[in-house]
Amino acid sequence: MRIRIFPIFLLLILGLQACIPVQTPGIPTGTLNSVTPASIPTQTVVIPTFTVPPPDLPAVSPPDLIHIKFLDPYNGWGISVDGSGQLLRTVDGGITWLNTTPPDMTGIGYSTVLDVLNNNTVWVLVPNEDFFTGVLFHTIDGGLNWTSGDVPFGGASLQFLDSTTGRAMAGRGVGLGSNAVEMFQTSDGGATWHSVFNDDPSRSDSTDSLPFSGIKNGMIFLDAGTGWVTGTRPMAGDIYLFATRDGGATWVQLTIPLPAGYDSYQYYPQAPIFIKNDGFLPLMIYLQDTTELTFFISHDGGNTWNGNPLVAGRMIPPGQVSFGDARRAWGWDGGSRIYFTTDGSQTWTALTSSLDLSGRLAQMEFVPGPSDQFTGWALSSVDESGHSQLFRTTDNGTTWTLVVP
3-class secondary-structure state, position 264: helix
Domain annotation covers residue 169: yes
Q: Are 136 and 149 in contact (CB under 8 A)?
A: yes
**193 lies in some domain:** yes
Residue 121 lies in a domain: yes
In a domain, 3, yes or no: no
Number of domains the chain is built from: 1
Tell whether 92 is covered by a domain.
yes
CATH of the domain at 89: 2.130.10.10
Per-residue pLDDT of the chain (405 residues; tens, 9 = 90+): 444 333 334 333 333 333 333 333 333 333 333 333 333 333 433 444 445 556 679 999 999 999 999 999 999 999 999 988 999 999 999 999 999 999 999 999 999 999 999 999 999 999 999 999 999 999 999 999 999 999 999 999 999 999 999 999 999 998 889 999 999 999 999 999 999 999 999 999 999 999 999 999 999 999 999 999 999 999 999 999 999 999 999 999 998 989 999 999 999 999 999 999 999 999 999 999 999 999 999 999 998 899 999 999 999 999 999 999 999 999 999 999 999 999 999 999 999 999 999 999 999 999 999 888 999 999 999 999 999 999 999 999 999 999 999
Give the Cα separation of 2 and 4 in Å (integer). Answer: 6
Q: Is residue 342 part of a domain?
A: yes
> Are 179 and 201 spatial neighbours (Cβ–Cβ below 8 Å)?
no
In a domain, 50, yes or no: no
pTM: 0.86
Domain span at residue 324 reads: 61-404
In a domain, 106, yes or no: yes
SS (H, E, C) 190-216: CCCCEEEEECCCCCCCCCCCCCCEEEE
Cβ proximity of 121 and 100 under 8 Å: no
